[in-house]
Amino acid sequence: MINPRTEVSRRRLLRTGPAIAGALMLAASAPVPQPRRPRYTTAPRPATPQQPVKPAPARTPAVPVLKRPVFTLRDYRRVVPGPAFPGDAVALTIDDGPHPLWTPKILRLLQKHHVPALFCMIGNQVLGHEAVARDVVRDGHLVANHTWSHPVRMSRLPQAKVHRELDRAQNKIYDTTGQAPALFRSPGGDWSPGLLAGAAKARMVPLDWSDDPRDWSRPGVPAITRRLLAARPGQILLCHDGGGDRSQTYAALRTVIPALKARGYRFVALHQPGAQPTKTQKG
């Protein structure tokens, strides 16, 4: 989803970040209505025999306001402490689901090749596809918050709307899967200093990507395959299981995953900030 022009404007925006972030911090000191505390951070209600209550997750660690999101595994490691990723590591991220048709197909493919992935879920897609969302977590994958409604210009939303988008998705994902995401991906990779501050306030690490095959635009299986095969170690790859017909993405991944593994690349799992990473998953 990156084209050169938006990339340039994005970088310009990031360069101007500190000044704007400072202004935002000043603005933030004005009295504002206190947002409702997210449900997943409050103490669980007393359990009743009819309604067992999930334990509240451990509070994720504070996240500093970053000047730019995480683009690569090296960036990730700078923000989320842990052992260095292997030199031949890549990470696969899958956005816009869960989807009742494409998510299960992709899950089976990942399982076949023992590949972990990060699923960036949209809250209103979890709604109605709860079992699919649970299957993602059951298979051992990590879930990121990808907003409630996937706004087109996320970077321009006022803070209160940013908070609502993140909070509503967070509650839905946690209530459904028991996993409280600590990673946040902005729709379309649309970031701003205000949004980066909003992510930090919600204790979420802002995560972008470094290899975009533009599979969402359905450019054809060969184009998606070619772009993904051009991946280099240390990159975070972007694909989609939601948002429309993902037959091209699925077909490309069927070729790309075994091909990258044959090249010696290792698909690594991103772990939750604050959680102990499990042993390196060999892809």
Give the binding site for Zn ion (CB under 5 A): 95-96, 187
Shortest distance, position 216 Cβ to Zn ion, whole Å: 8
Shortest distance, position 207 Cβ to Zn ion, whole Å: 12
Nearer to Zn ion among residue 146 and residue 203 (C-beta): 146
**Phi, psi (5° rounding) for residue 30?**
-65, 150
Kindly give, in sequence order, each residue whose CB lies less than 8 Å from that of residue 270, ignoring residues fewer than 6 positions away: 76, 80, 91, 118, 142, 183, 207
Shortest distance, position 166 Cβ to Zn ion, whole Å: 14
Shortest distance, position 122 Cβ to Zn ion, whole Å: 7
- Dihedral, CA atoms, 278, 131, 166, 228, nearest 10 degrees? 60
Nearer to Zn ion among residue 75 and residue 96 (C-beta): 96
The answer to whether 154 and 178 are in contact (CB under 8 A) is no
Told to judge if 240 belongs to the known catalytic residues of this protein, a careful annotator would answer yes
99, 129, 146, 240: the catalytic one is: 240
**Phi, psi (5° rounding) for residue 117?**
-145, 165
Nearer to Zn ion among residue 167 and residue 212 (C-beta): 212
What span, in angstroms and rounded, lies between the C-alpha atoms of 140 and 136? 7
CA distances from 235 to 87, 93, 104, 210, 230 (A): 11, 11, 25, 5, 10
Told to judge if 150 belongs to the known catalytic residues of this protein, a careful annotator would answer no
Backbone conformation region of residue 54, classed left if phi is above 0, alpha if psi is from -120 to 50, else beta? beta
Shortest distance, position 212 Cβ to Zn ion, whole Å: 11
75, 95, 211, 215: the catalytic one is: 95
Which residues in 39-181 belong to E strands, given as ranges?
89-95, 117-121, 142-145
Instruction: Find where tokens 């299957």 sit.
Output: 135
Nearer to Zn ion among residue 98 and residue 187 (C-beta): 187
Nearer to Zn ion among residue 85 and residue 216 (C-beta): 216
Just list the catalytic residues. Answer: 95, 240
